[in-house]
């Protein structure tokens, strides 16, 4: 059964038909989330994701005909829902660069018993929030690495100001998409001196800031372990300024460790992908804008769904195919990385801007 080597083989896979026993991978993990990248393009050039030196004017982004259409995405989403997926997240690149995104949201939000979220840099959110909400979007996660304007402009490397992101958050809240989760990637020596100010800015609001350990995704971002500020140190840093206490997870498999301010000023989270991996409960599959399915953020190869979507393969066969891919899954990259950083650091991996985070 060839599933993780780029080839899809329909023979010998059992159907993961709805109504049959719950679909789980080799480690017993269910398929619960599907992250859908709707474009590989972005208006930012965050050094840790799309460094300018690589993603410059000559970089070959995917041509239009190689990107899944809304109909193709909706078909995959519907099939994934029949296999147990309950949550979709649209991502990218920058998902709000994809024309007519509300139309796709309308199509996906019609799938019963599922919810749909969006991760965005929010630069285009102010103008689109209302349409996204009307189309059926349930929630928004906004990336904002620093509240310090100079640091933020330098981190996105395209001189976008913090104010634009804050306007996006306000618009999303006004449109009923709040409270918003605000994700900040932490890089030692780059933005760690501005994190307390970020926490302070959102304290007292319902928005939840979540600090993410800088991850070794892709092969172009020059990741170094010594740039990772361990979440345990971050918790101590914030706790010293604003005392914290832990909160139980909302649900099994929640990636962020939750804390609340002891004075009642709200909640904050830490995503410990590097220092305390959470592969054991990882229930996420990812599909790239061109229709490659990945069962791990750190995969070296995906499985090509697009050709199957375009060659007359039936829904039933596609369901069997997806179920087989999930059943064969043994990914636990971050746990393995903790055990052997050097070896794993050498493998070519898909880029974050391509797979969508
Ligand atoms: N452009 C959108 C945005 O930035 O929100 C969506 C796509 S982006 C790839 C999704 C998330 O991945 C963002 O929150 C971003 O900060 C995070 N990310 C990208 N590269 C990362 C890295 N090397 N380590 C940790 N998080 C990363
Ligand atoms: Fe663009 Fe998001 Fe990557 Fe930054 S993290 S370059 S905003 S895709
Ligand atoms: Fe999931 Fe892979 Fe991340 Fe582990 S490393 S939590 S398996 S995406």
pLDDT at site 283 = 95
Residues 6+ apart with CB under 8 A from 339: none
What CA–CA distance (Å, rounded) separates 190 from 49? 14
Nearest atom within ligand 2 for CA of residue 92: 8
203-222 average pLDDT score: 87
**Ligand 3 contact, 279 CB (< 6 A):** yes
Residues 6+ apart with CB under 8 A from 312: none
pLDDT at site 50 = 95
Q: How far is the CA of 284 from the centre of ligand 1 (A)?
A: 16
Total number of domains in the chain = 1
CATH number for 283: 3.20.20.70
Question: Is the CB of residue 94 less than 8 Å from the CB of residue 164?
Answer: no
**Pocket of ligand 2 from Cβ distances under 6 Å:** 42, 44-46, 49-50, 92-94, 121, 143, 352-353
Range of the domain at 334: 2-355
| Length, in residues, of the chain | 357
Residue 13: band (very low, low, confident or very high) from pLDDT cuts 50, 70, 90: very low
pLDDT at site 66 = 98
pLDDT at site 344 = 43
Residue 10: band (very low, low, confident or very high) from pLDDT cuts 50, 70, 90: very low
**Ligand 3 contact, 298 CB (< 6 A):** yes
Residue 330 has pLDDT above 90, yes or no: yes
Model confidence pLDDT, tens digit, residues 14-57: 334 444 568 999 999 999 999 999 999 999 999 999 999 999 99
306-313 average pLDDT score: 97
Determine which residue's CA is closest to atom 4 belonging to ligand 2.
46
188-204 average pLDDT score: 97
Question: Is the CB of residue 159 less than 8 Å from the CB of residue 186?
Answer: no
């Amino acid at each position: 059964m060839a599933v993780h080597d780029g080839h899809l083989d329909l023979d010998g896979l059992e159907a993961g038909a709805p109504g049959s026993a719950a679909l789980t991978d080799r480690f017993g993990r269910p398929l619960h989330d599907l992250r859908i990248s709707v474009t590989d393009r972005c208006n930012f050039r965050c050094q840790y994701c799309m460094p300018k030196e690589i993603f410059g004017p000559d970089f070959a982004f995917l041509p239009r005909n190689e990107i899944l259409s809304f109909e193709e995405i909706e078909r995959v989403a519907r099939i994934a829902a029949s296999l147990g997926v309950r949550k979709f997240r649209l991502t990218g690149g920058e998902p709000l660069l994809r024309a007519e995104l509300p139309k796709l949201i309308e199509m996906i939000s019609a799938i019963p018993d599922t919810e749909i979220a969006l991760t965005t840099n929010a630069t285009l959110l102010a103008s689109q929030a209302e349409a996204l909400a009307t189309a059926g979007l349930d929630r928004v996660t906004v990336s904002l690495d620093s509240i310090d304007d100079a640091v933020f402009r330098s981190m996105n490397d395209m001189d976008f100001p913090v104010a634009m992101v804050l306007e996006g958050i306000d618009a999303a809240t006004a449109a009923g998409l709040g409270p918003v989760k605000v994700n900040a990637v932490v890089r030692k020596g780059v933005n760690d001196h501005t994190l307390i100010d970020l926490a302070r800015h959102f304290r007292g609001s319902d928005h939840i800031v979540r600090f993410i350990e800088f991850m070794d995704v892709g092969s172009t971002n020059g990741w170094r372990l010594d740039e990772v500020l361990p979440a345990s140190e971050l918790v101590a840093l914030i706790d010293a300024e604003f005392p914290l206490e832990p909160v139980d997870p909302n649900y099994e498999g929640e990636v962020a460790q939750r804390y609340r301010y002891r004075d009642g000023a709200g909640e904050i989270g830490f995503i410990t992908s590097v220092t305390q991996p959470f592969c054991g409960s990882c229930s996420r599959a990812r599909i790239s804008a061109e229709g490659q399915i990945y069962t791990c953020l750190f995969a070296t190869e995906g499985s090509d769904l697009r050709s199957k979507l375009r060659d007359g393969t039936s829904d039933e066969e596609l369901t069997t195919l997806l179920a087989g891919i999930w059943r064969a899954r043994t990914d636990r990259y971050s746990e393995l990385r903790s055990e052997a950083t050097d070896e794993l650091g050498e493998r070519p991996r898909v880029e974050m801007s391509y797979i969508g985070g």
